[in-house]
Structure 1
Amino acid sequence: MRAVIQRASKAKVTVEAETVGAIGKGFVVLLGVEESDTEEDVVYLVRKIANMRIFEDDNEKMNRSLKDVEGEILSISQFTLHADTKKGNRPSFTAAAGPEQAAALYESFNNQLSAEGINVATGKFGAHMEVSLVNDGPVTILIDSKNK
């Protein structure tokens, strides 16, 4: 399971010109589910993301977590994070989980973040979405649950 985390001062996602999710200060998380992923991967990523210290403290050091700043998460499912670009110019997505498995793990991911006390807004699984954000920093972090 892969997550791209972007620290944002605000973000929103629209589907067919309608805003379906929006946050203020927090993270935009693009989540890619791989065929071999399980609940273990979800638990690992939730723990890492909820506690990742990439907000500045009073000394301007990245030392505060999402929980510390009472931040929110805009969670977007994105199978393209598992693109294989080794051959040719057209990416292959064979490693990405099928829609049923991916939707279940994406929902579990969002529910577990909510259980941590984090406000989670989402896009619409499987839809064409437009994501807008103001990347604060910019700060962008990649986490892969297979590289623990």
Structure 2
Amino acid sequence: MSALARNVYSEEMPFRDPHTAAPCLWAVRGRDGPAFEVSTATPSFATHDQDRKGLEEALIAIACREMGKSPTANFGRIITGYSQSGYRSDGYVGDPLEEGETEPNTEPGRGPVPWKNVDDVTASDWMGLECAKPEEKPTERYNMI
């Protein structure tokens, strides 16, 4: 959290790593002012990265459902009027756009899924989505010499 906060308040737009939301939050700060309200928690069952990330994704899905849209700074998006920084290895630093310029990552994102059939995670219509069946790979036998 401290790396995210430090990068959001830097002079130039931060890279997308270590936190992919930092460039968008930097732009929001430039547009709306420096005040942010943030809450954090690390439940005892989510101390490992995989568990924590799973919990984060679930909370983002719930927020998306309740707001009726994707959160502003998630999924690599940027607010209108700004170009998105790349990853540090790319070296591209975003900034406010010139008049008439556009950035494709300003699309509003997907609305919430309908939350149908939530219990059967392997169903082809889980969460109201159309899911393809996994491809079956042929089984091959190799003779080792």
Same fold (TM over 0.5): no
Say which structure, 1 or 2, has more relative contact order (CA 8 Å, 6+ apart): 1
TM-score by length of 2: 0.26
Structure with bigger helix share is 2
Structure with bigger strand share is 1
Pick the structure with greater CA Rg. Answer: 2
TM-score by length of 1: 0.26
